[in-house]
Amino acid sequence: MKFELVKLPYAADALEPVIGKQTIEFHHGKHLQTYVNNLNKLIQDTKFENADLETIVRESDGALFNNAGQVLNHNLYFTQFAPNSNGKPSGKLAAAIDATYGTFENFQKEFEAAGVGLFGSGWLWLAADKDGKLSITKESNAGNPVTKGLKPLLGFDVWEHAYYLDYQNRRADHLKELWKIVDWKAVEARY
C-alpha cells in the first residue's frame, strides 16, 4: 500500500457543530478510504507506481485521475481545519486577499457564491500562481488547480457527502459555517 489515509489533526467530533462526527466518520473513514484503496490498486504495474500524488493528478486521466484527485483534494481539505478557530488570514496571504478582493469579507462572499454556483459535485479552491497571484477556481468532480499549474491553498468540498448529514440540501448554509473552522495557519503555510 503506497498511499495511506491521511490522519486527522483533530478528533472526529471536534469540528461540531460545523461538521458533525458522523459526517467526519463517513467522509474520512469511508469515502476517502475508498479513494485511497482504489488509487493504490490502479497504480499497480503502471508508470505511476512510484510517482508522487501531484504528478499522478497532473498526468493521469479516467478512473486513476478521479481517485488520485480525490485523495489529493481530501488530504488538503481535512488538514485545513481546526476546532473553533474562528480566525482570519494574516501576513502576506491576508495582504494578497485584500489586494485581490478588497476585503476578507468580500473574498468570503465571492468564494461562497462560487460554491453555490457550482453545478453538481465538485470543489471550490483558493489558488495561487507562481507569482503568488490569487484566484478562485471552481472544479467539477475530482478537479484540483494543480492541473492548471496553480497551487491549491484552501478547498471547500461541495460534494453532497461533505454536508448532507448535517445540512441536507442547504449547501450555502454549510459553506457559510465552514469559515468558523478554517485553520488559517495551515492555509498560510501553503502560500
Residues that bind Mn ion (CB under 5 A): 157, 159, 162
The least distance separating Mn ion from the CB of residue 162, rounded to whole angstroms, comes to 5
Q: Is the peptide bond before 17 cis (omega within 30 degrees of 0)?
A: yes
By C-beta, is 2 or 31 nearer to Mn ion? Answer: 31
130 vs 145: CA distance, rounded Å: 12
The least distance separating Mn ion from the CB of residue 163, rounded to whole angstroms, comes to 10
By C-beta, is 89 or 155 nearer to Mn ion? Answer: 155
By C-beta, is 69 or 89 nearer to Mn ion? Answer: 69
Q: Where are the beta strands (DSSP E) in the chain?
A: 122-128, 134-140, 151-157
In Å, what is the CA distance from 41 to each residue of 26, 50, 115?
A: 21, 13, 32
The least distance separating Mn ion from the CB of residue 82, rounded to whole angstroms, comes to 19
The least distance separating Mn ion from the CB of residue 34, rounded to whole angstroms, comes to 11
55 vs 26: CA distance, rounded Å: 27
All three cell numbers of 8? 486527522
By C-beta, is 163 or 179 nearer to Mn ion? Answer: 163
The least distance separating Mn ion from the CB of residue 108, rounded to whole angstroms, comes to 21
By C-beta, is 89 or 115 nearer to Mn ion? Answer: 115
Q: Which residues contact 148 (CB under 8 A, 6 or more apart)?
A: 127, 137
Query: Coil, strand or helix: which one is 13?
Result: coil
For the four alpha carbons of 94, 135, 114 and 102, in that order, the dihedral sign comes to positive
Chain residue at closest Cβ approach to Mn ion: 157
Q: Do residues 163 and 171 touch, judged by C-beta distance below 8 A?
A: yes
